[in-house]
Structure 1
Amino acid sequence: MFNKALFKLEWKSNYKILVIFCLILTMYTTIMLAMYDPKLGTALETFAKSMPEIMAMVGMSGTPTTLIDFLSTYLYGLIMIVFPLIFGILLALRLVVRKVDNGVMSYLLCSGVERRSVWFTQMLVIITNLFVLIAFCTGLGLGCSALMFPGDLDIGAYLVLNLGVFILQLTLTGICYMCSCIFNEYRLASLFGAGIPIVFIMIQMLSNMQGSMEGLKFATLLTLFDPQKLINGNNEGYLMLGGLLVVMIVCYGVGGIIFDRKSMSL
């Protein structure tokens, strides 16, 4: 089912977007690490104390005592969720529904490429792009931490944390990819494919404020990604990642089945 020529073409067409997001996350990662001071606390803690509700809403609450705690709170609380997700959404929409909507998919299928091959190859393009992005951020974090705070980072916990982010991004992007395979119009795929993950993030932000809204956390998939449980080696955190994997497989699978059977004007 894998089409090597299509895979290479899509990578060549989209690598610039990947580079842009790598640069964006490089900026945020280095800035966040520069704000960490293991002896005097962090500048972000001052903000957290002066604006506790706002900081809690964006997942930046608590008082981290170690570098891995700091990163899991201030970098992986929101930044490493939002920016890779935006990248994944852009890819998922560009790779399928945009081609259907502008007629490119018609030429592709008429050239002899099977629908299943298109679905599978484009899925691999998304997975490999997200892998490169998260792997880059992982290497960047390891390198910067080694230079700025040698020996302070729990490398094992950091790798597990990034694995969790990777699985989360595959799942959320899988929702968008499923919508990209279901709809023939770009606007509808964008509405549902991007809208659902964005709603999940908004619900998570509201639930982070605690109080009467805390129960909303059960209405979003982001609850299945718990950085604190992952870095602490909690088995529940791993089981939650397993739940995300199940959702991911279902989303990509449903997208493939519908794309293979749906009606398209060729």
Structure 2
Amino acid sequence: MIRSLMKQEVKVNYKLYIVFLSIIAMYAVTLVAMYDPSLKDSLKSLEESMPVVLAAFGMQDMGTTLLDFIITYLYKFVLIVTPFIYSIVMCYRLLAKYVENGSLAYLLNSKHGRTKIVLTQWVNLFLGLVVMISFNTGLMIVCCSMMFKGALDIPRFLILNLGLLVLQLFIAAFCFMFACLFTDVKYSIGCGAGVISLFIIMQMFFSVYDSAKILLYCNPLSLFNPQQLINGNIVSVISLVVLLGLTAIFLIIGLLGFRRKDLAL
């Protein structure tokens, strides 16, 4: 890992970190503040009035507990899409931008090789996601403790966020792989963003139409099932292991591709 490059990236991108952490904080605090078991009937009426829209975003059933409520309104769409957007932006800033403007030549002319550069940029992306998920986890625990003391099942909530982190690392590695493989930005960023966006749309489509169940088996995002995960379903745990395996495969492919590709510097 190249420490000087790590420090430089943090210095350049810290404002972006603050923006995404602020978005996460806004959603987390607002959602917890909205929780009120007495409003269950009102929310059910809302679901009945807009079943297709709420189903598309996975917001159909608030459940019976605070954790169920949080999963329904935060972990089925918002916390899937927000870190995904962060990963896309950072893949451009950490790698694709350097290739596009030719400044990667300065890094390669130093004593550091391609492997070190790619691994350093991946660690930067990895740590950003860890901080984001950890920040959300800690903030929600504090908010729930202050507003609804004892209502949140913290051990299961921690397991939920571990699963979310695994999913986001999978998404980040997939996007990072294309940033390593292609020189043209429309492919290096567009392929990763396009395919993951398609997976998200497929998931939304399946949520609305049960007849589209086949899409569930074609979508790696379905390997993250929040409700089954907190219930201790062994299949959901195995699914996370699969996601970790795919993450490693994407990183290896990206690294090998970056080492071999002609950068035309």
Report the equivalent of 1:127: 126
Provide structure 2 residue ranges, at least 5 long, that are not aligned to the other structure: none
Report the equivalent of 2:112: 113
Provide structure 1 residue ranges, at least 5 long, that are not aligned to the other structure: none
Q: Is the 8 A contact 1:206 1:214 kept in 2?
A: no
**Structure 2: how far apart are the matches of 1:42 and 1:230?**
27
Report the equivalent of 2:243: 244
Letter paired with 2:52: E
**Structure 2: how far apart are the matches of 1:91 and 1:5?**
18
Letter paired with 1:192: C
Identity within the alignment, % = 39
Post-superposition offset of 1:38:
2.6
SS at 1:208 equivalent:
helix
**Structure 2: how far apart are the matches of 1:215 and 1:150?**
42
Q: Deviations over 1:160-211 (max 9, x none)?
A: 1111111101101111100000011112112102111111100110011133
Letter paired with 1:14: N
Higher deviation after alignment, 44-53 or 202-211:
44-53
Report the equivalent of 2:170: 171
Report the equivalent of 2:26: 27
**Structure 2: how far apart are the matches of 1:111 and 1:185?**
24
SS at 2:112 equivalent:
coil
Q: Is the 8 A contact 1:181 1:255 kept in 2?
A: yes
Post-superposition offset of 1:141:
0.6
SS at 2:108 equivalent:
helix
Runs of 4+ in 1 over 6 A off after TM superposition: none
In 2 relative to 1, CA 43–30 (structure 1 residues): closer, same or farther, beyond 3 Å? farther
Q: Is the 8 A contact 1:29 1:141 kept in 2?
A: yes
Q: Deviations over 1:38-95 (max 9, x none)?
A: 3442754442221112111111122410001111111101000000110011111211
Letter paired with 2:134: A
Letter paired with 1:164: G
**Structure 2: how far apart are the matches of 1:173 and 1:72?**
22
**Structure 2: how far apart are the matches of 1:17 and 1:46?**
38
CA RMSD of aligned residues (A): 1.3
Report the equivalent of 1:4: 3
SS at 2:75 equivalent:
coil
What's the TM-score once normalised by structure 1's chain length?
0.96
Report the equivalent of 1:55: 54
Confirm whether residue 200 of structure 1 aligns to residue 205 of structure 2: no
Post-superposition offset of 1:111:
2.1
Letter paired with 1:65: T
**Structure 2: how far apart are the matches of 1:44 and 1:215?**
30
Report the equivalent of 2:158: 159
Q: Is the 8 A contact 2:91 2:189 kept in 1?
A: no
What's the TM-score once normalised by structure 2's chain length?
0.96
Q: Is the 8 A contact 2:167 2:243 kept in 1?
A: yes
Letter paired with 2:14: Y
**Structure 2: how far apart are the matches of 1:43 and 1:6?**
52
**Structure 2: how far apart are the matches of 1:46 and 1:34?**
20
**Structure 2: how far apart are the matches of 1:216 and 1:183?**
28
Report the equivalent of 1:74: 73
Q: Is the 8 A contact 1:35 1:44 kept in 2?
A: no
